[in-house]
């Protein structure tokens, strides 16, 4: 509704603009229409400003001041039309309107008080402006003290010249101004030009027979049009005036100020009022020109700085790194460290790019500090883009710098009210002792080593070795084959296989379900485990496609087992964040289950604790809908992330899967965390399953603590579908017959504890 109203307001603005231009043209061409057009435009502009303020409800009092200003100017114009000349009352009314205009300028200046240009450019701009305004002030003072000639005309015209130059300077230095701001600036410039022309003709307002009235009609109309345009709410906002143009454009914007000395000399001579001595004009002009040259030098240096530095972090960019690399190398050679943040994309996706930028700035500070601690002035830190940073250091201290960088990034990074954890993968490339290596080659080598560090789990540093290029080529080939495999063009790239790892009741050892784990049967490399290709899936943004393939495969396999009359046990499938962000996921899963005639309680979905989901993600709605249909939701990898309690509140979790890293310590007596999880789960009505159980001692301790379900190599490794069915689900038999109980996995029960009652959902 708001967008439609804004569109109507915009169309109204342009329609009225056409009317104002026609009115101004009529005033210029048809003298008899001038009085009526001036009165109508004056009243109409005030009404438009009031209507725009009521309709759009802008913040602050600026637009109401504009209405008062226009009412005063319109009253002065009306008095001129009535009396046929500029009376004292008309002049006083117009002067009052100009005082209100000055108040608007002060109001706007106060709201943009925080807008400052970086030194030295801002200071030089200020000096140029001060020099011009000082010259104008001196001419006004000289005219008043001299008391001969048209003093008032000189004073008004001098002020108008100075204000017009400052206005043009301001307009030329700003970018992305809204339409209403442009209309206001054009109207203000026309008003000043109108006032200046009247002053040069010896009066304050245009007389009824003067074509100059068309300029007044046009300026008043533009003020009114600015108020009815939808962007009027931002016309006086501080952020509107802080968007500056490039340094070169800002430099060109000084030209109106450079012309002021000559314009003031012309005003004084035109009105016949002696002003300043003749020598003041060239001297002031020379001062302004010198300041402009200094400003040009500052702009040039700023442009050179921007060309070699990253705009966000102010670190050297690739060009700046090339300059540092081109300098003389130390005796022991140099090394390039290429650093890539782990899981930075997740921070951007979860918390937004503003938080991501704030994180990059803190990472920059830590990198610079860590590099200076070891390499001192010999280290050069650069940002290549995104979350990639480089450090160029002497080879002798490369390993120490890498160690310092990793330790510096290991601590949580506070951003606003968040504490973000981010590690980094570091690739190190050394120059040969025989001579320098081209920078592009050095970056390529470091990049190869960095990917090797990521493949090893991240948060580590790896030095380049020529054999790593083969691994990069292999990864590149596998990435292309993986894309073909998941897009359905699978000829010659193998196929996906889903293996099933049984979930068991710890006391009895009997299977209660399975977790689906994907494998890739490759025609050249054989059966690839997830560790061999899941990193490629993530780096190529193929998570959702892989999730879909596994889901479809599991549901179809469940349907086949049901058709064979095998024992019906649920299967858990992992979902990545990309899939959970899909608002259509629930519908597709339910359609898939219905098409295969598989009950919803036989499908369990696992979400991981360490993949944070933003509050605006559709995941909560998706999982709630699936839970209502009978699909269980499990929280995987519990104990490795930082948002578990939030997940338990937001999502319909029914099972907590304690991560293997927590299970490993229970035998040594470190069972407090597991006991705490059990207590919390009991209070929330959740079940607990332990992952990664490998020894009878771990199993016994978990049963002693009260954990009822588990999985791990003690019971079974992941099995192909056929082997899992034969070992766990029992033989094929007609569906009407009752299946036999599944076999005991992992040896005899530790103690006779009854199996938990099945959930209503599965």
Q: What is the 3-state secondary structure (H, E, C) of 580-599?
A: HCCCCHHHHHHHHHHHHCCC
pLDDT for the residue numbered 551: 95
Q: How far apart are CA 315 and CA 7, in angstroms?
A: 43
| Beta strands, E only, 483-602 | 495-505, 511-522, 526-528, 571-574
Counted domains in the chain:
3
- What pLDDT score was predicted for residue 755? 33
In the block, tokens 């114009």 appear at 77
Residues 152 and 46 in one domain: yes
Does residue 751 sit within a domain?
no
Same domain, 293 and 323: no
- Of 466, 496, 516, which residue sits at a domain end? 466
Collapse the DSSP code of 159 into the 3-class scheme (helix H, G, I; strand E, B; otherwise coil) and give the result: helix
Using the 3D structure, point to which of 268, 301, 334 is the last residue of a domain: 301
The residue segments making up the domain with residue 197 are: 2-301
* CATH, residue 540: 3.20.20.450
State phi, psi for 742 to the nearest 5 degrees: -70, 160
Task: Say whether 226 sits in a helix, a strand or coil.
Answer: helix
> Does the pLDDT of residue 396 top 80, yes or no?
yes
Residues 461 and 508 in one domain: no
514 or 219: which carries more pLDDT confidence? 514
**Could you tell me if 289 and 380 lie in one domain?**
no
Most confident listed range (84-88, 253-257, 675-679): 675-679
Tell me which of 60-74, 519-533, 537-551, 607-621 is least confident.
607-621
Q: How far is CA 36 from the centre of its chain?
A: 54
pLDDT of residue 723: 94
Burial class (CB in 10 A: 0-12, 13-18, 19+), 478: buried
Q: Report whether 512 contacts 542 (CB < 8 A).
A: no
The yes-or-no verdict on residue 613 having pLDDT over 90 is no
553 in any annotated domain:
yes
Is 283 in the same domain as 258? Answer: yes
Please report whether residue 679 resides in a domain. Answer: yes
Whether 736 is in a domain gets the answer no
Phi, psi for residue 257 in degrees, rounded to 5: -70, -35
Same domain, 392 and 529: no
126 located within any domain: yes
> What pTM was computed for the model?
0.53
Shared-domain flag, residues 261 and 333:
no
- What phi and psi, each to the nearest 5 degrees, are found at residue 32? -65, -20
Q: What is the pLDDT of residue 248?
A: 64
User: What pLDDT band is residue 109 in, cutting at 50, 70 and 90?
Assistant: low
The pLDDT assigned to 140 comes to 77
57-61, 246-250, 499-503, 531-535: lowest mean pLDDT where? 246-250
pLDDT score for 609: 67
Question: Are 531 and 402 members of one domain?
Answer: no
**CA dist list (Å): 238 to 109, 115, 156, 244:** 9, 8, 30, 12
Query: Same structural domain for residues 699 and 593?
Result: yes
Query: Is residue 421 a contact partner of residue 642, using CB atoms and an 8 Å limit?
Result: yes
750 within some domain? no
Distance CA 417, CA 419 (A): 7
CATH number of the domain to which 331 belongs: 3.30.70.270
Is residue 749 in a domain?
no
Mean pLDDT of 304-313: 84
Regarding whether 33 and 165 lie in a shared domain, the answer is: yes
**490 and 416, same structural domain?**
no
Q: Does 372 share its domain with 509?
A: no
């Amino acid at each position: 509704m708001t967008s439609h109203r804004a569109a109507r307001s915009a169309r109204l603005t342009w329609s009225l603009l056409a009317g104002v231009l026609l009115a101004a043209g009529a005033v210029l061409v048809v003298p008899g229409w001038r009085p009526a057009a001036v009165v109508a435009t004056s009243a109409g502009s005030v009404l438009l400003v009031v209507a725009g303020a009521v309709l759009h409800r802008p913040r602050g009092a600026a637009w109401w001041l504009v209405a008062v200003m226009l009412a005063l100017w319109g009253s002065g114009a009306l008095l001129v039309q009535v009396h046929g000349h500029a009376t004292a009352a008309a002049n006083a009314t117009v002067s009052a309107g100009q005082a209100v205009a000055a108040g608007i300028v002060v109001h706007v200046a106060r709201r943009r008080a925080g807008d400052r240009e970086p030194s030295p450019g801002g200071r030089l701009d200020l000096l140029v402006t001060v020099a011009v305004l000082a010259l104008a002030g001196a001419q006004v003072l000289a005219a008043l003290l001299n008391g001969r000639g048209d003093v008032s005309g000189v004073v008004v015209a001098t002020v108008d010249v100075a204000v017009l130059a400052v206005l043009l300077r301001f307009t030329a230095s700003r970018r992305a101004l809204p339409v209403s701001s442009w209309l206001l600036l054009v109207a203000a410039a026309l008003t000043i030009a109108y006032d200046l022309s009247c002053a040069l003709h010896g009066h304050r307002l245009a007389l009824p027979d003067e074509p100059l009235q068309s300029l007044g009609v046009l300026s008043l109309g533009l003020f009114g049009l600015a108020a009815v345009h939808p962007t009027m709410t931002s016309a006086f906002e501080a952020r509107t005036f802080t968007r500056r143009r490039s340094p070169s454009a800002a430099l060109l914007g000084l030209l109106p100020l450079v012309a002021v000395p000559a314009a003031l000399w012309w005003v004084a001579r035109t009105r016949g009022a002696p002003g300043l001595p003749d020598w003041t004009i060239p001297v002031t002009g020379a001062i302004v020109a010198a300041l402009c040259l200094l400003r040009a030098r500052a702009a040039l240096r700023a442009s050179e700085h921007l060309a070699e530095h990253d705009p966000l972090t102010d670190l050297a960019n690739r060009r700046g790194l090339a300059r540092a690399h081109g300098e003389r190398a130390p005796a022991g050679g140099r090394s390039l460290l290429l650093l890539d943040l782990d899981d930075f994309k997740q921070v951007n996706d979860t918390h937004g790019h503003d938080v991501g930028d704030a994180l990059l700035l803190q990472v920059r500070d830590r990198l610079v500090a860590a590099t200076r601690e070891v390499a001192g002035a010999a280290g050069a830190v650069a940002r290549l883009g995104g979350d990639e940073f480089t450090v160029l250091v002497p080879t002798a201290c490369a390993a120490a710098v890498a160690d310092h960088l990793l330790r510096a990034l290991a601590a949580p990074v506070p951003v606003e009210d968040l504490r973000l954890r981010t590690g980094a993968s570091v690739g190190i490339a050394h120059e040969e002792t025989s001579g320098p290596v081209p920078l592009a080659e050095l970056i390529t080598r470091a990049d190869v080593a960095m990917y090797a560090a990521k493949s090893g789990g991240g948060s580590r540093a790896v030095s380049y070795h020529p054999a790593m290029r083969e691994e990069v080529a292999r990864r590149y080939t596998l990435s292309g084959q993986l894309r073909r495999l998941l897009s359905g063009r699978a000829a010659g790239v193998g196929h996906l296989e889903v293996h099933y790892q049984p979930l068991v009741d710890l006391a009895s050892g009997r299977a209660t379900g399975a977790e689906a784990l994907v494998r890739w049967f490759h025609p050249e490399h054989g059966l690839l485990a997830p560790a061999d290709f899941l990193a490629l899936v993530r780096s190529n943004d193929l998570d959702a496609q892989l999730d879909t393939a596994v889901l479809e495969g599991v549901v179809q396999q469940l349907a086949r087992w049901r058709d064979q009359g095998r024992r019906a046990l649920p299967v858990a499938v992992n979902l990545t964040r990309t899939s959970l962000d899909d608002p259509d996921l629930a519908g597709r899963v339910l359609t898939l289950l219905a098409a295969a005639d598989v009950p919803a309680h036989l499908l369990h979905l696992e979400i991981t604790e360490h993949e944070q989901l933003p509050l605006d993600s559709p995941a909560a709605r998706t999982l709630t809908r699936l839970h209502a249909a009978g699909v269980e939701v499990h929280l995987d990898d519990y104990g490795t992330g930082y948002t578990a309690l939030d997940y338990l509140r937001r999502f319909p979790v029914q099972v907590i899967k304690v991560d293997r890293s927590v299970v490993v310590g229970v035998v040594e007596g470190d069972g407090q965390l597991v006991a705490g999880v059990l207590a919390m789960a009991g209070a929330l009505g959740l079940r607990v399953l332990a992952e990664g159980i490998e020894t009878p001692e771990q199993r016994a301790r978990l049963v002693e603590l009260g954990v009822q379900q588990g999985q791990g190599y003690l019971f079974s490794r992941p099995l192909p579908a056929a082997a899992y069915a034969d070992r766990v689900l029992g033989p094929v038999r007609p569906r009407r017959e009752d299946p036999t109980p599944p076999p005991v996995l992992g040896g005899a029960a530790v103690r006779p504890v009854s199996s938990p009652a099945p959930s209503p959902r599965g």
